[in-house]
Amino acid sequence: MPRDKHNISRAQVSENALKVLYRLHKGGFDAYLVGGCVRDLLLGLEPKDFDVATNASPEQIKSLFSNCRLIGRRFRLAHVVFGRDVIEVATFRGHHPDEDESSPKGHSKQSKEGLLLRDNVYGSIEEDAQRRDFTVNAMYYSIADFAIYDFANGVKDLEAGVLRLIGDPETRYREDPVRMLRAIRFATKLGLRIEDSSRVPIAKLAHLLDNIPPARLFEEFLKLFLHGKAEANFLGLYEYGLFGYFVPQLKSALKNADSFEYRMVHQLFKDTDTRINGGKGVTPAYLFAALLWYPVNAHAEQLAQEGGLAEYDALQIAAADVVAKQSRSIAIPKRFSLPARDIWALQHRLQQTQPRKAERLLTHPKFRAGYDFLLLRSRIEGDAELASLGQFWTEFQKGKEVGGAPTRQARGPGARNAEDAPKRRRRPRRRKPADKPQDS
């Protein structure tokens, strides 16, 4: 597509991406914007980031940029760093020569399940396009002539509202099972329909997600649930039997759409979309606290009954056990798992409504998250005691915001006014004995 046939302008491209493109071009290399940024620009959307593809090797890229670092083992990439802005530069990928009998001809080295193990083979732009996942991601914008090169009819599929895998879908999913998650995410983000041959194998191959490293699943979790399409992504993943691979401890409970677990997850993601689309933030710690609350609570009750532990102690042990188990599926960094545990502990501490304890609790750094989660639990469970507790904390905070003492209603059950409390009798101060006159 020559420049006069498409709507992409250099004014829409980040300044740093243009610097990378021009330096590669001046260095005698091919340089293209590729993938999601080209797709989004064609759709009139603002790209989240700009990726570059080139025929320069990673070492050649590094020689051109002093602010470049090379990353990756499975496939080496160059990151050109401009402060917080990172432009990812990839060398065109090619087809891997056969290295053993288990590797199909023209593919990289694979595991028994078909997962790509090594991919550091470089090729032409045509080969690179064949190696990309979806047709709508195989479009290239050239800095040399400002044309778009479409190798897989991606423009046609965009116009038809279709998301289609390049190549045989089952083979491509086996090569990288995360493509099943990406199919859901792109379909909801772009409003596309997953084409039938790309849709049908997903449920059958869902188990392959067990082979994905927990750190990579954590990254995919953030992309799916922290960008304003959490509810739609959850429903899509649930439909194809994929969500349980993120939170295996909920797999059985989520089969019942009337269960507290299902209602909690669904409402959590609806609320997440409302906040994000309203310009507010959501921490992953809160998401994990809500997702794992019922497994933690059930395990804590079991520990309390079997071991005779106090409620709070049982909760702490259960929290550690559940987080450790969850980390086998999603590697939750401590900066999120520890605040999640604080939110769980606050569900116990928020039951303490005596004025002095309540005032101290307001200063807890995770109080607001714990309070919000208490309200969410109340909505899900319809429990009168939880509702009363939520109302108490709502009124108590209002009292503090206007600088006054909490109302009688906000003091919680059993709390007394200061004037109602019995007066403490003050012990009389002991007098010092008078100094005796000294003998002269």
Position 381 scores a pLDDT of: 95
pLDDT band of residue 100 (cuts 50, 70, 90) is very low
Q: Is residue 415's pLDDT more than 80?
A: no
Which residue in 153, 151, 170, 171 sits closest to 162, CA to CA? 153
Average pLDDT over residues 145-151: 96
> Per the residue annotation, which of 51, 119, 176, 273 is the catalytic one?
51
Domain contains 166:
yes
Looking at the chain, the whole-number percentage of residues with pLDDT higher than 90 is 80
Domain contains 229:
no
Span 330-361, pLDDT tens digits? 999 999 999 999 999 999 999 999 999 999 99
Q: How many domains does the chain have?
A: 1
Position 359 scores a pLDDT of: 93
Position 120 scores a pLDDT of: 66
Domain contains 144:
yes
Residue 108 near residue 136 (C-beta atoms within 8 A): no
Q: Which one is predicted more confidently, 430 or 85?
A: 85
CA distance 230 to 234: 6
Q: Is residue 406's pLDDT more than 80?
A: no
Domain contains 217:
no
**Range with the poorest average pLDDT among 10-24, 233-247, 335-349, 423-437:** 423-437
Average pLDDT over residues 121-128: 91
Position 376 scores a pLDDT of: 97
Q: Is residue 26's pLDDT more than 60?
A: yes
pLDDT band of residue 307 (cuts 50, 70, 90) is confident
Average pLDDT over residues 25-50: 95
Domain contains 373:
no
CATH code assigned at 30: 3.30.460.10
Position 177 scores a pLDDT of: 96
> Per the residue annotation, which of 40, 119, 128, 133 is the catalytic one?
133
Q: Is residue 225's pLDDT more than 50?
A: yes
CA distance 48 to 173: 25
Looking at the chain, the whole-number percentage of residues with pLDDT higher than 70 is 85
Span 262-300, pLDDT tens digits? 999 999 999 999 999 999 999 999 999 999 999 999 999
Position 419 scores a pLDDT of: 41
Span 175-221, pLDDT tens digits? 999 999 999 999 999 999 999 999 999 999 999 999 999 999 999 99
CA distance 307 to 291: 26
Average pLDDT over residues 305-319: 92
Structure tokens at 269: 């993601």
Domain contains 222:
no
The residues near 2 (Cβ < 8 Å, ≥ 6 apart) are 145, 147
Domain contains 425:
no
Which residue in 49, 133, 137, 39 sits closest to 86, CA to CA? 49
Chain mean pLDDT for the chain? 88
- Residue 325 has φ and ψ, to the nearest 5°, of -65, -40
Distance (Å) of CA 385 to CA 95, 320, 368, 377: 63, 27, 19, 11
Q: Is residue 103's pLDDT more than 50?
A: no
Position 68 scores a pLDDT of: 96
Domain contains 235:
no
Q: Is 49 tagged catalytic? A: yes
CA 329-334-340 angle, 5° bins: 85
Domain that holds residue 35: 1-175
- Tell whether the torsion through CA atoms of 233, 234, 240 and 241 is positive or negative: positive
